[in-house]
Structures are given as C-alpha cells and as structure tokens.
Amino acid sequence: MGSKNYHDLIVYEKADQLAYLVYSIASHLPKPEHMSLASQMKRTAISIPANIAEGYAREGEKDKLRFYNIAQGSLAKLEYFTEFSLKLRLLNKRTYQHLTEQRDEVERLLYGYIKSIKNKT
C-alpha cells in the first residue's frame, strides 16, 4: 500500500482516465442524448475515481471498503450504460470495445485493491 495519497494509486489513475474517456465519448453523443444517457454516463464515470479518493481518505477498513464498493457499483452501472448505448447504436463497436477494456481494467484493479485491504487485517 505505502502510498501517500490517492493520486499514487494505480486504480485511481486508471479510474480517472476512464472518467475522462467517458466524458470525451459522451460529449459526442447526439444532442438529445446529452440530457439523459450522456449525463448518466458522465455522473457514473466521475463517481468511480471520486469514491476511490473518498475511500482512501477514510480511517477504518469498513468505511474505506464501503466507498470502494460504491465505486464497484458505479462500474457495473457504467457497464450497463455502455451496453445500452451500443444497442441504441449510439456507440460503434470499436468505441464500445475500447470503453469496455478500460472499464474492465479498472474493475480488476479495484477488486485487487479491495482484496489487499481485506487481507491486511
């Protein structure tokens, strides 16, 4: 663990990159989608690194894990939103695949980070 703040965490860095990617993609969705699906995708994506940062700042293991679990839930929501966007043909397969790969990487890293905290005690 040994990091001084959440900026040092690889999982935070990758989650931040994912949020940026989602913002970039959502900004190019058709205008009617900006008020609904694009907005949901952006809020969900930004909550992932935000909850990692907040969890990192918490003192107790139980409190930390609660925020990391919220981040995991947001990853699941983002997965749904991207799948739904693909079904609506708002995303092409290449963009969907890239987004899915990035999301999956964050999910693996977050799972590993949570596991390391649980194993620490």
Q: Residue 73 belongs to what domain range?
A: 6-120
Position 1 scores a pLDDT of: 47
- Examine residue 24 and state whether it is found in any structural domain, yes or no: yes
In a domain, 1, yes or no: no
At residue 3, the pLDDT reads 66
Distance CA 29, CA 92 (A): 11
Per-residue pLDDT 10s for the chain (121 aa) are 456 799 999 999 999 999 999 999 998 888 876 668 999 999 999 999 999 999 999 999 999 999 999 999 999 999 999 999 999 999 999 999 999 999 999 999 999 999 999 988 6
User: Does residue 22 fall inside a structural domain?
Assistant: yes
Q: In the chain, what's the furthest Cα-to-Cα distance?
A: 49
Residue 97: CATH number of its domain? 1.20.1440.60
Give the span between the Cα atoms of 15 and 54, in whole angstroms. Answer: 13
Total structural domains in the chain?
A: 1
Do the domain assignments include residue 17? yes
